[in-house]
A = this chain, B = another copy of it.
Amino acid sequence: MNQTGIWYGGDYYPEQWLKSPDILKQDIDYMKQAGINTVTMGMFAWSFLEPEEGRYNFGWLKERVDELYKNGIYTIMGTPSGARPKWLSDKYPEVLRVDDTGRRQLFSGRHNHCFTSPVYREKVRKINKELAGQFASHPGILMWHISNEYGGECHCALCQKAFRLWLKKKYDSIDELNRRWCTAFWSHIYQSFDQIESPSSIGETMVHGLNLDWKRFVTEQTTDFAKWEVDALREEGAAQPAAVNLMYDYKGLNYHKLSTAVDVVSWDSYPLWYKEKEIFTARDNGLQHDFMRSLKMKPFLLMESCPSATNWQGVSKLKKPGLLKLAGLQAVAHGSDSVLYFQIRQSRGCSEKFHGAVIDHYGGDDTRVFQEVKEVGRELDLLGEIAGTSVRSKAAVIYDVENRWALEDAQGPRNKGLFYHEVCTKIYSAIRKAGINVDVISMDENLEKYDLVAAPMLYLFQKGMEQKIRQYVGSGGCFLTTYWSGIVDDGDRCFLGGVPYGLKEVLGLRSQEVDALFDGEVNHMVPAGGKGKRYECRCLCDLVQLNGAETLMVYEDDFYQGYPAFTKNSWGKGTAYYVCADAEQEFYNDIFHKLTEEAGIKPLLNGTIPDELEITSRESAGVEYIFVQNFSRNEIRLEKPLLEDLLQGTILTGDITDSGGINGYGTVVIRRKLTAEIRN
């Protein structure tokens, strides 16, 4: 890439202002003022690039790219497949999605085309090739941005057919499919692949194997479509990397698969600040950053974020002064090489007209938001050397979407809520609170590189998962899992013979029964030995039969009072922990404080870390960058050891107050030598 330092800028839609050359000119002036070096264009411009079928018009876009480049601003070029022109839908209705009840949707919105339609694929291929033909060799093009926020599904006849072929390829024989999907239940035996229909609210919803395979098919069809888009660019010689932008905690697709279609992972981060304390929002957002980073285990891009208030949340809250910078730097701290906004200039009409922007309808540069945007630009400029550096984590949390699909589709043991996302977040937060980097990984990841792996509620085991965990623990890993793990195989079929499947020896126990608690109902965990902290637990309580494990805590209430609630088992060279119930955050904070120590993982800085502080790091050959971020609005004082450790580095940005603290919403970034001692 021909851009150095951190990319700063955002989505830009000059096509909305082509009749206002003064505005286009002003945009560039403002961008320069704000330190913006990167824009994304083209994403929703199909009607302007191909106003009629086969008639192309790239002049206006070329002019924009040129003009920006002349002013030192690079372009990420988007393919326009996210929103079709009206003429395309009208002439070829097959490109419109069909919903699960068989209704063909009307032209509207965006992100609603059939991924299977040969016509749509052909039209996309053509426009992408034209686009690449125009821009592949332009020095101002940094990257290709493929479509926008892929998602959704189509149930048209073409998709049904593709799904059947996909199933046939997967199972080969219909008998095998019947066996794996357990269709003997309710007499649902299929005689041939041709009989299969996608899940539907006016049809089948309860064959879990079908539901799961349908979601997998949707991911693969979407990924195939994304690859098809990239291939079209490559055919015309486009050599720049390609990216797709992903969404917060999105369950519609398996992002581990989709991200294989591109070179770079990027995502759109819109935290709902102030709904709770900023540190909780930051943890939640941090988990997503780390998830995105872990997809390719390399720097990602923050592709979209809001310079002010979003317009699509229930309540459009302003960011309080300083939060914009704090949030932007958090992305960099977790591995992003960019801070990009949606959007540079606010559109005048339609659904996003009140979404925050660098330049609003008023249009002046004397707004609070614009001043803060400028301030972020200045800051990022100081951190340019961090671009491209990596993040090293010795701990990982498995947060797996296929597991989630199965878990949430299952009926029982608690249809009112299982709280998978929440337990993963609790564990993630506990490790982060201990001052340690975390990877957020899928089941497919190699575990051997970690000293500590947590796999909460790992309901579904991909083939061989139990073997991988045995291997990991056997060779010395520290492993923690919980209630409702190892229950079903990759076809969502229950394991026989006792669960967690294949791990009864590793964990030294067997899960016998799971009690579900009503909303508001509480049980407690107390130390097995007597004295010590007591924690609340809710939702699910596993009743285990021990087979070698040591009981660390027991239940306090109900008929299973005194039964194990938290256990430990030494196995091979490693240790395996089992949390029986949905415990509160404080429990996880306390145990991960100990577990990380046991696993020999050193915190990034020594000393006690205050509650509302986040400490993260990036590194490159021999150098480490530590980010210390204060997510409260008040100054936080650092205790002596922490402060001293921090001050051993060189401050790249941020201030230590006279009283040895960090200002409210403040960020301090230091650079220090990466010694062997630090890496341990």
Contacts and interface: CB of A to CB of B under 8 A. Distances in A.
B362 A204 contact: no
Contact of A202 (B83, B103, B309): B103
A189 B106 contact: no
A419 interface: no
B191 A86 contact: yes
Contacts of A16: 182, 184-185
A187 interface: yes
A349 B80 contact: no
Query: Most chain-B CB neighbours within 10 Å: which of A44, A197, A200, A348?
Result: A348
Contacts of A85: 187, 189
A378 interface: no
Given A45-B187, A184-B48, A362-B499, A412 B316 contact: yes
B47 A187 contact: yes
A464 interface: no
A319 to B, nearest CB: 10
A86 B204 contact: no
Interface stretch (A163-171, A205-213, A240-248): A205-213
A642 interface: no
A354 interface: yes
A517 interface: yes
Contact of A492 (B52, B184, B202, B349): B349
A347 B415 CA distance: 19
Interface stretch (A107-115, A138-146, A293-301): A107-115
Interface in A175-220: 181-191, 195, 197, 200, 202-209
Contact of A48 (B107, B187, B559): B187
A77 to B, nearest CB: 16
A510 interface: yes
Contact of A494 (B47, B83, B353): B353
A83 B186 contact: yes
A334 interface: no
Query: Most chain-B CB neighbours within 10 Å: which of A189, A350, A495?
Result: A350
B367 A512 contact: yes
A680 interface: no
Given A189-B85, A368-B513, A314 B416 contact: yes
Interface residues of A, number: 108
B45 A108 contact: no
A315 B516 contact: yes
A476 interface: no
Interface string A555-590: 000110000000000000000000000000000000
A189 B51 contact: yes
A231 interface: no
Given A101-B103, A106-B204, A349-B209, A516 B317 contact: yes
B308 A513 contact: yes
Given A48-B184, A312-B412, A515-B318, A350 B208 contact: yes
A184 B60 CA distance: 14
A559 B320 contact: yes
Interface string A312-340: 11111110110000000000000000000
Given A309-B516, A313-B415, A315-B414, A108 B203 contact: yes
Given A99-B202, A185-B349, A363 B497 contact: yes
A352 interface: yes
A105 interface: yes
A675 interface: no
Interface in A389-438: 410-416
A182 B348 CA distance: 7
A133 to B, nearest CB: 20
Interface string A337-380: 00000000011111111110000011110011100000000000
Contacts of A413: 309, 311, 316, 354
Given A189-B86, A203-B108, A363-B497, A321 B559 contact: yes
A348 B410 CA distance: 12
A637 interface: no
A183 B347 CA distance: 10
Nearest to A501: B361
A496 interface: yes
A313 B414 CA distance: 8
Interface string A275-314: 1000000000000000000000000000000001111111
A283 to B, nearest CB: 20
Contacts of A321: 559
A420 to B, nearest CB: 16
A493 interface: yes
A203 B106 contact: yes
A80 B186 CA distance: 10
B15 A411 contact: no
Nearest to A80: B187
A518 interface: yes
Interface string A82-121: 0111110010000000010101011111100000000000
Q: Nearest 7 A-B pairs (CB), nearest first? A: A182-B349, A106-B203, A311-B412, A354-B412, A206-B351, A108-B204, A185-B350
Given A87-B191, A207-B350, A346-B494, 11 more contacts: A16-B184, A101-B103, A182-B348, A207-B349, A309-B513, A313-B415, A315-B416, A316-B413, A317-B517, A362-B510, A368-B513
30 contacts: A13-B185, A16-B184, A44-B186, A44-B187, A47-B189, A51-B191, A83-B188, A87-B195, A103-B202, A106-B204, A107-B197, A109-B205, A207-B350, A209-B349, A209-B350, A308-B513, A309-B515, A314-B415, A314-B416, A315-B517, A318-B516, A320-B558, A320-B559, A348-B493, A349-B491, A349-B492, A353-B411, A361-B496, A362-B497, A368-B513
